Amino acid sequence: MNLGIIGCGAIGTDVAKAADAMKEIKKIYLYDINKKASKALCKTIKKGEIQNVTDFLNDVDVVFEGASQQAVMEYAEQILKEDKDLILMSVGSLFDDHFRKKLEKIAREKHCKIYVPSGAVCGIDGILSAGVGGLNEVTLVTTKPPVSFGKSFDERTVLFEGNARDAVKKFPANINVAASLSLAGKGFDDTKVEIVADPVATRISHKILAHGAFGRLRVELENMPNPNNPGSSYMASLSAIATLRRIIDPIQIGA
């Protein structure tokens, strides 16, 4: 299997290095709008080669996107039309209902897949399963140190309460977590989001609360920063690598 990677930042670097160690992956094609980033990454792996996205599409089986929403807008349709599977990290791009439905339509017609890793949260598999029986309510509570918002608070302060779609407009940095949860569960308009600044917090935490016919679910994760980029959660990279591993492995675990 050959892999294409769009975006050679912290997550793209983690994925490329993990893929370089997978015997099932023969070639890794790298692209980043910042040529220095792709060149630097290429020097650290054995299977790497730098090419533009349009040039490597004929030679890959799966494309990993770890760049930006703009990159998704620019390349996703073309990738799917070339019958290639897509691992998509910039999940916030799917808040655009028209764009998401267009990608779904192309993927169905071309019999390919759009994989959305769970990213910086846990419990997405539980939400997927619970949704089969019916979900009454799904809430995401994100807590960050005040410095993450560029502000100062003396006590725990709720900055936002509302649905996922509105949360994105006010707090775009929370977009991917909210999008993944919304897609797995009740959708963007019915997924509740609470964003909190807490001076006691030292890490970014995401808590998922849900109840329905299945019972009740409560999952909380305190994220360690990515060693290559303190602004990114390490779990996001691990989730991306696990998704790639899932595509390769014959045994599928999870919902």
Residues taking part in catalysis: 206
Pairing relationship of beta strands 204-212 and 215-223 according to DSSP bridges = antiparallel
Sequence-separated (6 or more) residues with CB below 8 Å from residue 137: 186, 192, 209, 210, 211, 212
Q: 108: helix, coil or strand?
A: helix
Closest Cα partner for 25 from 65, 60, 66? 60
E-strand ranges in the chain read: 2-6, 27-31, 48-50, 62-65, 85-88, 114-115, 135-144, 157-163, 191-197, 204-212, 215-223, 225-226, 229-233
- Asked whether 135 and 186 are in contact (CB, 8 A), the reply is yes
